[in-house]
């Protein structure tokens, strides 16, 4: 019953910092090791096995705006606390990969052991490393659709030559960490908002979802959930109209020319949406059969809902 903790995203120029926390319980999963020693396909397979097992999983996220405000060291502490707060299984020891006890100022600090290469040696730490890495990579791949031209799906925010060239050509996005030395000169750069105010990725998503929720309500829907999440899945908007429950994925684009949200609904994404709908129905409305999946396109600084389509 070891609570394993590891982080991903400490060094990138863009994107969130994510800390994974895992108690494997009685799960036996072959192949667990440091996520950096695995291929992308291997990580994704193992991450799904961990999620499907009896493991208890927590993910703590700190987004770039908060990271810039409080610094990297404090962000590591906050992300660790957030991940651990999601764990409900009992454990008798906490092992953190590395040499710093991010929980030392909490009541759990006395139970922590720090260990170099723990993600290579301790199964629960390996699992934490894998689920955090896969979750962050998937997030950055989604941001690649939101901010085309930066290559986020390829470099996931790290400071590659291609990433540097994209920044020099297009400037920064709300995903970029302006407190990092290579990007400090962009601190006053304009972001997608009035004046020079910085708008975070989360704020953009919230505004897009709010615009869609308002339109659905005007069309007679009752909005049941906004940004509903579990450790297994998430849904942007859950709404009901008459006897039908709708699960809507919201996609924002800077402009209509950037591509429609329907293009982002890959077969893999569709399967994730199906699972989320069934999971929500099982936990909230047992026995409901009239479930529909939908996608909404939102574009521009005015957050105009250009389309809302049922996809299945």
pLDDT of res. 50: 95
Distance, in Å, from the CA atom of 280 to the CA atom of 298, rounded to the nearest integer, reads 24
pLDDT of residue 85: 93
Q: Which segments in the chain show pLDDT lower than 70?
A: 188-202, 254-264, 285-289
Enumerate the domain spans of the chain: 2-142, 201-310
CB contact at 8 A, 236 and 227? yes
The torsion angle over the Cα atoms of residues 138, 86, 13 and 118, rounded to 10 degrees, is -90
Give the pLDDT score at 137: 95
Distances (CA, A) of 23 to 80, 83, 93, 107, 127: 14, 12, 10, 18, 9
Provide the pLDDT for residue 272. 86
- What is the second-level CATH architecture of the domain 2-142? 2-Layer Sandwich (3.30)
At residue 252, the pLDDT reads: 82
pLDDT tens digits, one per residue of 7-66:
999 999 999 999 999 999 988 899 999 899 999 999 999 999 999 999 999 999 999 989
Angstrom distance (rounded) from CA 224 to CA 245: 9
Report pLDDT for 223: 86
pLDDT number for residue 243 = 83
- CATH number of this structure's domain 201-310, picked from the four choices 3.40.50.300, 3.40.50.360, 3.40.1350.10, 2.40.110.10: 3.40.1350.10
pLDDT value at residue 172: 92
Portion of the chain with pLDDT greater than 70, in percent = 90
Residue 287 has a pLDDT of 56
């Amino acid at each position: 019953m070891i609570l394993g903790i590891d982080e991903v995203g400490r060094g990138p120029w863009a994107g969130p910092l994510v800390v994974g926390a895992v108690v494997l319980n009685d799960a036996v999963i072959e192949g667990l090791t440091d996520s950096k020693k695995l291929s992308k396909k291997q990580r994704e397979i193992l991450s799904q096995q961990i999620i499907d097992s009896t493991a208890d999983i927590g993910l703590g996220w700190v987004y770039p705006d908060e990271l810039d405000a409080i610094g990297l060291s404090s962000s590591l502490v906050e992300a660790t606390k957030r991940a651990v707060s999601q764990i409900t299984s009992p454990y008798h020891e906490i092992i953190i990969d590395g040499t710093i006890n991010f929980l030392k100022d909490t009541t759990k600090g006395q139970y922590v052991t720090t260990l170099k290469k723990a993600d290579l040696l301790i199964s629960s730490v390996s699992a934490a490393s894998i689920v955090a890495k896969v979750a962050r990579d998937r997030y950055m791949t989604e941001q690649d659709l939101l901010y085309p031209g930066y290559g986020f799906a390829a470099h996931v925010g790290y400071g590659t030559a291609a990433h540097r060239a994209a920044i020099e050509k297009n400037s920064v996005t709300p995903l970029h960490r302006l407190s990092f030395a290579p990007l400090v000169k962009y601190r006053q750069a304009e972001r997608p908002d009035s004046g020079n105010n910085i708008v975070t990725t989360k704020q953009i998503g919230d505004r897009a979802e709010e615009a869609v929720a308002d339109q659905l309500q005007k069309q007679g829907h009752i909005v049941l959930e906004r940004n509903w999440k579990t450790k297994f899945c998430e849904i942007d908007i859950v709404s009901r109209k008459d006897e039908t429950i709708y699960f809507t994925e919201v996609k924002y684009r800077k402009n209509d020319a950037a591509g429609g949200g329907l293009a982002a609904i890959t077969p893999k994404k569709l399967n994730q949406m199906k699972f989320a709908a069934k999971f929500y129905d099982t936990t909230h409305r047992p026995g409901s059969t009239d479930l529909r999946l939908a996608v909404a396109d939102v574009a521009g600084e005015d957050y105009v809902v250009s389309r809302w389509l049922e996809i299945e």
